[in-house]
Chain A
């Protein structure tokens, strides 16, 4: 199997480093994007959504708020300030974030992009709650 390196970094620490990733699906701003080995170099933003990390033995899922993704020479770096492992992401926490997002959505002075991102956030989180 073709494998590449993955590094997820938050400002506080290196969140995850994996050397045997096979596929990563990230919520890029213009739609979900799957990355396999030997992808062309790319830089993109993330919207709120789920990151799927597939490796030989396991599949990991994370929720991110925002971030930047860079792929170069078979090294994928994801920089994000807000990331949660879905395994220990409890319902109360989700409710709290959804509530905050809904509050924010009520504000007047907002451009379409911000509105879109908040909508996305609420949608993704609500779908998480159902599972």
Chain B
């Protein structure tokens, strides 16, 4: 049975923790609004970019001459996985969900006897993966220093991927991130970016408009595809940051509520033991008086 003093100390400590989580929730909520706005603003660009590429690739007649970024190297042996996580913790299942999804995929690849390379973006992902998959991690990038997510950072990652692709380091590239659905639900995603995932056939039929190209088709494609990779990474980073804030907000909301419950419970316990101590003293006095 903890003493009254211990209980009082615990109550204050839980209360101050509650204050911290409440403040973090408030900060996350404010940041979330901005991040969500950014994610929504960024969507048209990547969608348009995808559309243009779809239109272009529908027109590619000879798959052998098409750029390798679009159709792949023809092999599926070497896989590169880019795992996008956050740099900060205390955001609920945000990082764990991505890692779980990624780990499943890693195991699948390893079982098939294919080679695996990992690039982690964000320090939390690196921390969680280095123990089990340390030997596979080829690069660890963190944008801790840049305050906002910007296209420049994304194009750095994109450039790195393309660089590796041109050196024939891998055949298939997949990125892992959380897609922001709403504040309480973020869906971990695995998106294959090299080769570009094949389009639904029925979708293609609607896109049969003959375009004029300037310069020619091949040149546009070979210029556009590297840009698209950066764009996709950028989109993933935006979605991720919105998801991170959303996830943190929910987690901190839960923590605040838990702390409240705990304070209630401890207060009841405190009051009970205080009452018990008083009763005990009274009994002692009465029985002392009786024995005289």
Spell out A's residues near B (CB within 8 Å). Answer: 7, 9-14, 28-30, 33, 40-45, 68, 70, 72, 77, 79, 81
Contacts and interface: CB of A to CB of B under 8 A. Distances in A.
A41 B212 contact: yes
A42 B48 contact: no
Q: Most chain-A Cβ atoms within 10 A of its Cβ — which of B45, B213, B224? A: B45
Contacts of A14: 41, 44
29 contacts: A7-B44, A9-B45, A11-B45, A11-B231, A12-B38, A12-B151, A14-B41, A14-B44, A40-B212, A41-B212, A42-B211, A42-B212, A42-B213, A42-B214, A43-B52, A43-B56, A43-B214, A43-B220, A44-B214, A44-B215, A45-B215, A45-B220, A45-B223, A68-B49, A70-B48, A70-B52, A72-B211, A77-B48, A79-B48
Given A9-B44, A14-B41, A43-B55, A72 B49 contact: no
Interface string B24-44: 000000000000001001101
Contacts of A11: 42, 45-46, 151, 154, 231, 234
Contacts of A43: 52, 55-56, 211-214, 220
A81 B151 CA distance: 8
Contacts of A13: 38, 41-42
Contacts of A33: 214
Contacts of A44: 213-215, 220
Contacts, number: 68
Smallest CB-CB A-B distances: 9 pairs: A13-B41, A44-B214, A42-B212, A11-B151, A41-B211, A9-B45, A11-B45, A41-B209, A9-B44
Bin the interface of chain B by size.
Answer: 20 to 34
Interface in B9-65: 38, 41-42, 44-46, 48-49, 52, 55-56
Contacts of B211: 41-43, 72
Nearest to A67: B227
Given A12-B151, A43-B220, A29 B42 contact: no
B210 interface: yes
A79 B44 CA distance: 10
